[in-house]
Amino acid sequence: MSRHISVLMALAAFVVAGCREGPAPDGKPLVVASFFPMYEFTRQVAGDRAQVVSLVPPGVAGHDWEPSPQDVAQVRRARVFVYNGAGFEPWAEKLIKEAAGPSTMVVAASTGLTVPRTGGDGGMDPHVWLDPVLAQRAVEVIRAALERSDPGGQATYSANAAAYGAKLAALDARFDAGLRNCTRRDVVVSHAAFGYLTRRYRLEQIAVTGLAPQAEPSPAVLAEVVRAARTRAVTAIFLEPLVSPKLAETLARELGVRLLTLNPVEGITKQEVADRIGYIDLMTRNLENLREGLGCT
């Protein structure tokens, strides 16, 4: 396609955006994402073509958050609303009913990717973004939605999604190779966010709390984790950066094991934003810590 036609198409898209309800102040379509990984994947696909904002701010985890009236107004202006779904953002379901108009395209990135959580209470495990293979599929779901909402940007969205998808595929290859030869395969974590990740790389997740980080484990659950960790000769416990480490410290002391960080990437800190740390960087650190804690060569 000639440069001339691209410019014309961009102009046409601009005019369409300008006529519809909901363009961002600078004329680009406004795309609102629920929390950090959705924001990161959407931003990677959109590039400069759309204005992408995250509802949940840096420093806050996506499980427990409530939208303000300003957030509701922003969703009302959005061309596309991207959320994970599968119950991860209970507030988003409410927000969609309240704010998403007929011109807002609503996308649940985990559509078709979830399986029931282990432990079996019937609910789905929402944490698909922690598996680099499922993350690639979520990126494709987001790409398709952006293309439908803004057909003039198809070439851009498609090229961006392919480039980011290749980085995620490389991340998957590093996890696969890096976790192949390990002394131990049991991963004791503070909340059950790593079901997809551990399944993908033939590891086993032993979760101290439930699916949400704020759920306090009962003494019976704790006793079971201690027993499992002793039986399986675990030498490290993995905790997440955004929750209180008190529980994991108690366990680590009782079992005489090390504490390592395993980030569920449910949020990002202000410092990480300032340092331009993204999903792939956080996942690379996760891989390093898993390799260390599991004794991988």
Positions touching Zn ion (CB under 5 A) are: 193
Residue 273 CB, shortest distance to Zn ion, in Å, is: 20
Question: Which residue number is nearest to Zn ion in terms of Cβ?
Answer: 193
Helix (H) / strand (E) element for 41: namely: helix 36-46
Residue 244 CB, shortest distance to Zn ion, in Å, is: 15
Rg of the Cα atoms in the chain: 21
Nearer to Zn ion, 83 or 157 (CB): 83
Nearer to Zn ion, 212 or 222 (CB): 212
Nearer to Zn ion, 197 or 294 (CB): 197
Nearer to Zn ion, 118 or 158 (CB): 118
Q: What is the 3-state secondary structure (H, E, C) of 148-197?
A: HHCHHHHHHHHHHHHHHHHHHHHHHHHHHHHCCCECCCEEEECCCCCHHH
Label residue 140 exposed, middle or buried (CB < 10 Å: 0-12, 13-18, 19+). Answer: middle
Nearer to Zn ion, 115 or 155 (CB): 115
Nearer to Zn ion, 99 or 193 (CB): 193
**Nearest-angstrom CA–CA distance, 245 and 238:** 10
Residue 183 CB, shortest distance to Zn ion, in Å, is: 27
Residue 125 CB, shortest distance to Zn ion, in Å, is: 9
Residue 269 CB, shortest distance to Zn ion, in Å, is: 17
Residue 188 CB, shortest distance to Zn ion, in Å, is: 16
Q: Is the CA virtual torsion 28, 30, 36, 41 positive or negative?
A: negative
- Taking the mean position of all CA atoms in its chain, how far away is CA 199? 17
Nearer to Zn ion, 17 or 239 (CB): 239
Residue 60 CB, shortest distance to Zn ion, in Å, is: 13
- Taking the mean position of all CA atoms in its chain, how far away is CA 10? 31
Residue 61 CB, shortest distance to Zn ion, in Å, is: 8
Nearer to Zn ion, 266 or 272 (CB): 266
CA distances in angstroms from 279 to 53, 148, 229, 256, 262, listed in the order given: 16, 25, 29, 31, 13
**Nearest-angstrom CA–CA distance, 94 and 96:** 5
Q: Is the CA virtual torsion 121, 124, 126, 129 positive or negative?
A: positive
Contacting residues for 168 by C-beta, under 8 A, at least 6 apart = 132, 133, 135, 136, 139, 280
